[in-house]
Structure 1
Amino acid sequence: MLTSNIISHLKNQNWLAAIIDFIIVVSGIFVAIQVNSWNEGRVSKQQEKVILEQLYSDFSDNVDSVNSMALFHKNKASELDYVIDMVATDNIEPTSERAGNALMSMFQMPPLIPITLSLCTTQS
């Protein structure tokens, strides 16, 4: 409707009215583009917040995994020190439960698998 007004004003050579109509159309398009940009920015900030929350959760889980792995290795080192002392003092107790557990711990190595999956599922 507005474009037909512009064409009508141009046919009548009413330049002032045609320019005003043109400015109205251009400013309407500009406002629409600005509103769209604002909305995209708002959605982008919401997605950023979700991603940061997931990263925090993943990092927290990874820190817990690393801490439990450190505790495991600390216990393993203690058991291996026991075995080394037992061998160094030539005081080997083959029937001792602690000696058996210490020897078995030499062959245990749980894997450390960092958590990175939640980020992959949100970006689609």
Structure 2
Amino acid sequence: MIKFFRKIRKNLLQEGKTVKYLKYAIGEIVLVVIGIVIALQINNWNENRINNLAVKTYLNNLIYELTNEQIILEFFIESHSFKYYSMKYLLIMEGTNLYDPKADRKTEIPPYKPIAYWNKKIPKVYDKEFIQLTYSMMHRAQFPPMEGATLEELKSTGMYSRINPNLKIAINNYYAFKQNDFNGKVQSLALDFQASLAQDGYITTDTNKLADPISLIRNNPGRVGLIKRMIRESGWTILSAINSKERNKKLVVLIEEEIAKI
């Protein structure tokens, strides 16, 4: 092809057809420019296609993480439900005034559902086994994931800027709410409770050695107050986790809609 164009130029010059040669040269330049523009467009199209595929992969991975997170949030709800109801049970056995959720405008705590480490109903009478379990579980920390590796990678690669701004706002809001809602207050109060026991030479597992483990809180308003606060914070944590799970599901739907558009 190059030899063909070169032959045409040579013939035009040898025949003295300067004007025709200039027109031809201009035409050739135009063809070259058009070729370059087409090549650039193809390159840009191919680059956009590759980037879109990468964004789709990240978004699908994010859906996978969020779906798994729903399972973790459900476990989180169940574990804090045990804390909420088991510590209320401690106060009943101690004989003190119960924590009133209505005062905190919190009356919609779901009923207790049996879970792995206590697959029965909350007892209504004195049950030493349940009391021991309540003491041992109150300081066990359960924290939901805050931000997955996929989102961090998406941000670090610069692909996050290619996502629909409205979807980015939804993703940012989801993790911001979680950061605010799950602040570890229950765990902090449980550690304070353990420190209170330590002052009298006990740890929570010492309840196995006591004839009446309720004696650890009986006539001890400081420890009763800590339990009331743990009940209160567990209740708020349960409601936050339920709301987070609902936001999670809605976010998954938005991400699926975005993937369909790419």
Q: Which amino acid aligns with 2:42?
A: V
Match of 1:108 in 2: 140
Q: Runs of 5+ in structure 2 lacking a partner?
A: 97-124, 158-262
Q: Map Cα deviations across residues 1-31 of structure 1 (whole Å, 9 max, x no partner).
A: 48x84xx57x943211111111111111111
What SS does the corresponding residue of 1:86 show, helix, strand or coil? helix
Question: What is the percent sequence identity of the aligned residues?
Answer: 21
Q: Aligned equivalents of 1:73 and 1:40: distance in 2?
A: 48
Q: Aligned equivalents of 1:48 and 1:107: distance in 2?
A: 41
Q: Tell me the TM-score normalised to structure 2 length.
A: 0.39
Instruction: Give how far 1:113 is off.
Output: 3.1
Match of 1:86 in 2: 93
Q: Tell me the TM-score normalised to structure 1 length.
A: 0.77
Match of 1:98 in 2: 130
Q: Which of 52, 55, 58 in structure 1 is aligned with 2:59? A: 52
Q: Which amino acid aligns with 2:37?
A: F
Q: Aligned equivalents of 1:106 and 1:26: distance in 2?
A: 74
Q: Aligned equivalents of 2:48 and 2:94: distance in 1?
A: 67
Q: Aligned equivalents of 2:59 and 2:150: distance in 1?
A: 11
Q: Aligned equivalents of 2:87 and 2:80: distance in 1?
A: 10
User: Which deviates more, 49-58 or 12-21?
Assistant: 12-21
Q: Runs of 5+ in structure 1 lacking a partner?
A: none
Q: Aligned equivalents of 1:100 and 1:21: distance in 2?
A: 90
Is the CA contact 1:54–1:118 (under 8 Å) kept in the aligned structure 2?
A: yes
Q: Aligned equivalents of 1:72 and 1:40: distance in 2?
A: 48
Instruction: Give how far 1:112 is off.
Output: 2.8
Higher gyration radius (CA): 1
Q: Which of 22, 29, 36 in structure 2 is aligned with 1:15? A: 22
Q: Alpha carbons of 1:37 and 1:44: their partners in 2 closer, same or farther (altered >3 Å)?
A: same
Match of 1:72 in 2: 79
Q: Aligned equivalents of 2:61 and 2:151: distance in 1?
A: 7
Q: Which amino acid aligns with 1:18?
A: A
Q: Alpha carbons of 1:114 and 1:64: their partners in 2 closer, same or farther (altered >3 Å)?
A: farther
Matched, 1:39 2:46: yes
Instruction: Give how far 1:118 is off.
Output: 3.5
Instruction: Give how far 1:121 is off.
Output: 5.5
Instruction: Give how far 1:119 is off.
Output: 4.3
